[in-house]
Amino acid sequence: MGSSNFLLEIGLEEMPARFVTDAMEQLKYKITDWLDENRIAYESAEAFSTPRRLAVRINGIAQKQEDVVEESRGPSKQIAVDENGEWTKAARGFAKGQGIDLEELFFQEKNGTDYVFAKKEVLGKETIDLLPQVETIITEMNFPKNMRWGTFSLRYVRPIHWMIALLDNEVIPLEIAGVTSGRHTRGHRFLGETIEIFSPDSYEEKLREEYVIAEPKQRKEEIRRQLKELASEQGWSIPINEDLLEEVNNLVEYPTVLYGDFSDEFLRLPDEVLVTSMREHQRYFPVEDRNGKLLPHFVTIRNGNKDYLDNVRKGNEKVLRARLSDAQFFFEEDQKVQPEKAAEKLDSIVFQEELGTIGDKVCRIQTLSQRLAEQLDFATEKVASVNRAAKLSKFDLVTLMVDEFTELQGLMGEKYALISGEEEEVATAIKEHYQPKSASDAIPATDVGAVLSISDKLDTIIACFGIGLIPTGSQDPYGLRRQAAGIVQILLEKGYPLPLEELIDETLHVLKEKHVLKEEPATVKNEVISFFRARLKHLLSDHSVRYDIVDAVLEGFSGQVEVLVNKATFLQEKLQDQEFKNTVEALSRVTNIAKDTTVPDVKVEEDLFSEQPEKELFRAYHQMRKELSESLDKGEVALAWESLQQLVPYIHDYFEHVMVMAEDEQVKQNRLHQMILLSREIRRFANFQHIVFPS
Partner 1 sequence: MNVQNMILTLQNFWAKQNCLIMQAYDVEKGAGTMNPMTFLRSIGPEPWNVAYVEPSRRPADGRYGENPNRLYQHHQFQVIMKPSPANIQELYLDSLRELGIDPKKHDIRFVEDNWEAPTLSAWGLGWEVWLDGMEITQFTYFQQVGGIDANPVAVEITYGIERLASYIQDKENVFDLVWVDGFTYGDVFKQPEYEHSKYAFEVADQAMLFNEFATYEKEADRAIAQNLVFPAYDYVLKCSHIFNLLDAGGAISVTERTGYIARVRNLARKCAKTYYEKREELGFSMLGEEEREHNGQQ
Q: How far apart are CA 616 and CA 611, in angstroms?
A: 9
Tell me the window of 72-80, 300-308, 456-464, 652-660 that interacts with partner 1 (CB under 8 A): 300-308
* DSSP structure string for 329-356: HHHHHHHTS-HHHHHHGGGGSEEEGGGE
Please say whether the beta carbons of 171 and 191 come within 8 A: no
* Using rule CB under 8 A, residue 314 touches partner 1: yes
Using alpha carbons, select from 541, 410, 519 the residue that is nearest to residue 462.
519
* Using rule CB under 8 A, residue 182 touches partner 1: no
* Using rule CB under 8 A, residue 144 touches partner 1: no
Tell me the window of 213-221, 303-311, 360-368, 434-442 that interacts with partner 1 (CB under 8 A): 303-311
- Binder to partner 1 among 282, 526, 572, 646 (CB under 8 A)? 282
- Binder to partner 1 among 154, 171, 319, 384 (CB under 8 A)? 319
- Binder to partner 1 among 33, 66, 209, 307 (CB under 8 A)? 307
* Using rule CB under 8 A, residue 547 touches partner 1: no
* Using rule CB under 8 A, residue 149 touches partner 1: yes
DSSP 193: -
Residues 342-371 vs partner 1: string with x where CB under 8 A? ------xxx--x------------------
Using alpha carbons, select from 316, 277, 302, 295 the residue that is nearest to residue 237.
295
- Binder to partner 1 among 111, 151, 475, 576 (CB under 8 A)? 151
Strand partners, 286: 298
Using alpha carbons, select from 640, 628, 378, 376 the residue that is nearest to residue 495.
376
Tell me the window of 41-49, 63-71, 143-151, 432-440 that interacts with partner 1 (CB under 8 A): 143-151
* Using rule CB under 8 A, residue 326 touches partner 1: yes
For residue 303, the minimal CB distance to partner 1 (Å) is 6
Measured from the CB atom, the residue of 321 and 574 that comes closer to partner 1 is: 321
Assign 3-class secondary structure to 250-305.
Answer: CCCCCEEEEEEECCHHHHHCCHHHHHHHHHHHHCCEEEECCCCCEEEEEEEEEECC
Measured from the CB atom, the residue of 351 and 532 that comes closer to partner 1 is: 351
At what angle are helices 380-392 and 447-466 packed, to 10 degrees? 50
* Using rule CB under 8 A, residue 159 touches partner 1: yes
Please say whether the beta carbons of 487 and 454 come within 8 A: yes
* DSSP structure string for 133-168: GHHHHHHT---SS-B--TT----BSS-EEEEEEEET
**For the sheet containing 285-288, what is the strand order?**
255-261, 294-303, 285-288
For residue 50, the minimal CB distance to partner 1 (Å) is 12
Measured from the CB atom, the residue of 15 and 586 that comes closer to partner 1 is: 15
Residues 597-626 vs partner 1: string with x where CB under 8 A? ------------------------------
Measured from the CB atom, the residue of 29 and 190 that comes closer to partner 1 is: 190
For residue 529, the minimal CB distance to partner 1 (Å) is 31
Q: Please give the residues from 74 up to 93 whose contact with partner 1 meets the rule CB under 8 A.
A: none
- Binder to partner 1 among 92, 161, 382, 668 (CB under 8 A)? 161
Measured from the CB atom, the residue of 205 and 265 that comes closer to partner 1 is: 265
Q: Please give the residues from 5 up to 24 whose contact with partner 1 meets the rule CB under 8 A.
A: 13-18
Pairing of strands 113-122, 106-110: antiparallel
Which long-range contacts (C-beta less than 8 Å, at least 24 apart) are formed by 222-230?
Answer: 222/255, 223/248, 223/249, 223/255, 223/257, 223/301, 226/255, 226/256, 226/257, 227/257, 227/285, 227/299, 229/257, 230/257, 230/259, 230/299
Measured from the CB atom, the residue of 114 and 354 that comes closer to partner 1 is: 354
Using alpha carbons, select from 53, 65, 64, 60 the residue that is nearest to residue 27.
53
- Binder to partner 1 among 28, 53, 302, 494 (CB under 8 A)? 302
Using alpha carbons, select from 68, 113, 120, 69 the residue that is nearest to residue 94.
120
Q: Please give the residues from 208 up to 267 whose contact with partner 1 meets the rule CB under 8 A.
A: 251-252
| Cβ count within 10 A of residue 23 | 22
Measured from the CB atom, the residue of 21 and 325 that comes closer to partner 1 is: 325
Binding site for partner 1 (CB under 8 A): 13-18, 51, 145, 147-151, 158-159, 161, 178, 189-191, 251-252, 282, 300, 302-304, 307-308, 311-312, 314-316, 318-322, 325-326, 329, 348-350, 353
